[in-house]
Structure 1
Amino acid sequence: MNTRIPSVARAVAGAVFLLGALGAQAQDKPVELKFAHWLPAMHPLAKTGFEPWAQSVEAASKGSIKIAFFPAQQLGKAADHYDMARDGIADVAWINPGYQAGRFPMIAAGELPFLIAKPGPGSAALDHWYRSYAAKEMSDVKVCFVHVHVGTIHSKTPITDPAQLKGMKIRSANGTVAQTMTLLGATNVQVSAPESRDALEKGVADAITFPWNSIVSFGIDKAVKYHTDMRLYASDFAWVMNKDWYNKLAAGQKKVMDDHCNNDWAAKVGAAWGDDEDAGQQKLEKMAGHTIVKITPAQLDGWKKATEPVYTQWTVGADKVGVNGKQALDELQRELATRKAAN
């Protein structure tokens, strides 16, 4: 009796199964990913972040994941993009959590004044720290990664001292910056980035907190002429994914998405966009009619001291959602220091 036949048959069957599995993976059913954001299609982040990421996803999936962009609030208002991803209006959406103040208290730590100095390593630090909170705080969606930009205050008159903000109308970048402005006696103007220039030109706002180069790309350089030279705040951003869309992907496609939703991409996007934004300072410095307002070390210390209560407010907010706020903030500050991203 030839006992080799069953083992050979099993080997052949196994090989056929493996080839079939590999063939299925190589021929994953094509899917479209609707990527929604609210920036102009030619914004620097679109060119340094969105498009390179999309090209990498398409290449890694051998073309089975095709990405269609919906920029400039085509699918909904800027503040609605989280819910758009949750509800499947978009498959992936780029969001500013701070546009819905109080809804996402943990990630708001990244917005604290004078906390983050460098957007690349700062993005990597915040992304690494936030992953332990993301599943609970943004449970409606699958968080891909988070990143930041760093900005300052741009105004119609020069600003060097926090006391000057009292009575001013300021368009704040996010909820934490709004808290900061309220603390300093300013009135907050609640408009999204695409609506900011109009608010300034109509006198609805006197100043804006914004990153450097976006002042130019949004045309806001036509409305403000003074730019205070300090790292006042950061804005947090997250790439969030519709869970149902992700769950329907083939195994190989899920791996592609997982490989593009990690800390490396957070650092890469944060650095590419952040460095581009920071380069806008030199661009504005060379533009006629614009002034970079210098801040002395003593003046900077005054700003930091005046904004300290915002840290306490964040800690109390974290405590309210069952997190030890002081401990969590200490962990974030250590992560920033480790990556040499602290302000």
Structure 2
Amino acid sequence: MNRSFRIARIAAAVILAAGTTHAMAQDKPVELRFAHWLPPTHPLAKTGFEPWAKSVEAASKGSIKVVFFPAQQLGKAPDHYDMARDGIADMTWINPGYQAGRFPMISAGELPFLMSKPGGGSAALDAWYAKYEEAEMKDVRMCLSHVHIGTMHSKKPILDPAEVKGMKIRPSNGTIQAFMTLLGATNVQVSAPESRDALEKGVADAITFPWHSIITFGIDKVVKHHNDQRLYASTFNWVMNKSWYDKLGPAQKKVIDDHCNNEWAGKVGAAWGDDEDSGQQKLEAKGGHTIHKLTPAQHKAWRDAAQPLYTSWIEAAGKAGHDGKAALEALRAELKKQGALNE
């Protein structure tokens, strides 16, 4: 490459950068109303939502201002998908498992004992779901997908799946609801913010939840027994109102696109997952809590009991027009690639 050509390339790059900066400066300032149902002090708010928002604001040179509406301010937890669809909020954080059966493909991520790591699991789920999201969540624009991983927390020890029979369980999502029904339990359908009250009043005996959120929501005051296993994962999506996105300037759209990608999915999942996992040690340090280390035979009993859920998911995927067996194998392959397959 001769010197004059190098100079020309440098000049072109400078012009392009200047043009991008100018375009950003010309973008009309917009507000991104981001709704979720967590308390503003929740670990995900601090490790996921807020860093993402600050990065968006910095990359947009302040032309996109993110304003949070936490703690169900704009609507109940199960309503957040429809809130984004209808423009009640510009972006929402949804748990599709709160509406069992509505989003069959993403519920593959809820299958028990499938994922071992929340960061890698989030990156894998996000990459895998890209094939299905446009059709399954056609009312909104997808930003990213991620997971948390949790276990069983209860008022009395539950070491074997047979012990669930006759109990009242607050499940984390539709798949775990089906699992508890399979085991003979009664499901108590309340959102995360309402869970402590249900347990305190005896409406529920146990809950499937991530470790640190047990403390964040004050549930540690009610349940004292915790199983040390990767029982389940819950899937989450960040979704946008289509009209809000369409009205952005080109440079603003690029900022959003750069923050709605697989890298951010993995980053959010890992940051939140690490914080959630830290809750186990904090509960042990508190005293008054028993962490139950299950035996290999007990682990196997739980895994065996969950197998019908895999068959049911494959059938549900088939009804949605997909090859469920192939889709599940593809998800397992993504998880293995990310080192997050629970083998």
Q: Shared topology, TM-score over 0.5?
A: yes
1:315 offset after TM fit, Å? 0.5
**C-alpha separation between the residues in 1 aligned to 2:176 and 2:243?**
34
- Name the counterpart of 1:3: none
Residue by residue over 1:113-138, the C-alpha shift from the partner in whole angstroms, topping out at 9 and shown as x without a partner, is 00011000000000000011000000
Q: Does 1:34 align with 2:33?
A: yes
Q: Does 1:194 align with 2:208?
A: no
**C-alpha separation between the residues in 1 aligned to 2:196 and 2:145?**
26
Taking the TM superposition and a 5 Å limit, the aligned residue runs for 1:165-176 are: 165-176=164-175
Q: Does 1:83 align with 2:79?
A: no
**C-alpha separation between the residues in 2 aligned to 1:21 and 1:229?**
51
1:27 offset after TM fit, Å? 2.3
- Name the counterpart of 2:127: 128
Secondary structure at the residue paired with 2:313? helix
5+ residue gaps, structure 2: 1-14
**C-alpha separation between the residues in 1 aligned to 2:29 and 2:103?**
34
- Name the counterpart of 2:184: 185
- Name the counterpart of 2:106: 107
1:22 offset after TM fit, Å? 5.7
Taking the TM superposition and a 5 Å limit, the aligned residue runs for 1:1-343 are: 23-343=22-342
Note if contact 2:143-2:239 (Cα within 8 Å) is conserved in structure 1: yes
Secondary structure at the residue paired with 2:288? coil
5+ residue gaps, structure 1: 1-15
Residue 159 and residue 59 in structure 1: after superposition, are their counterparts in 2 closer, same or farther (change >3 A)?
same
Residue by residue over 1:275-318, the C-alpha shift from the partner in whole angstroms, topping out at 9 and shown as x without a partner, is 10011001111112110011011110111011100000110000
**C-alpha separation between the residues in 2 aligned to 1:247 and 1:125?**
28
RMSD over equivalenced CA pairs, Å: 1.4
Q: Percent identity?
A: 72
**C-alpha separation between the residues in 2 aligned to 1:323 and 1:59?**
41
**C-alpha separation between the residues in 1 aligned to 2:53 and 2:20?**
26
Give, as a single letter, the amino acid of the residue that structure 1 aligns with 2:176.
Answer: V
Give, as a single letter, the amino acid of the residue that structure 2 aligns with 1:112.
Answer: L
Note if contact 2:315-2:324 (Cα within 8 Å) is conserved in structure 1: yes
1:24 offset after TM fit, Å? 3.6
Give, as a single letter, the amino acid of the residue that structure 2 aligns with 1:277.
Answer: E
Count of residue pairs brought into register by the alignment: 328
| Structure of larger gyration radius | 1
Residue by residue over 1:36-60, the C-alpha shift from the partner in whole angstroms, topping out at 9 and shown as x without a partner, is 0000011010000000000000000
1:338 offset after TM fit, Å? 1.3
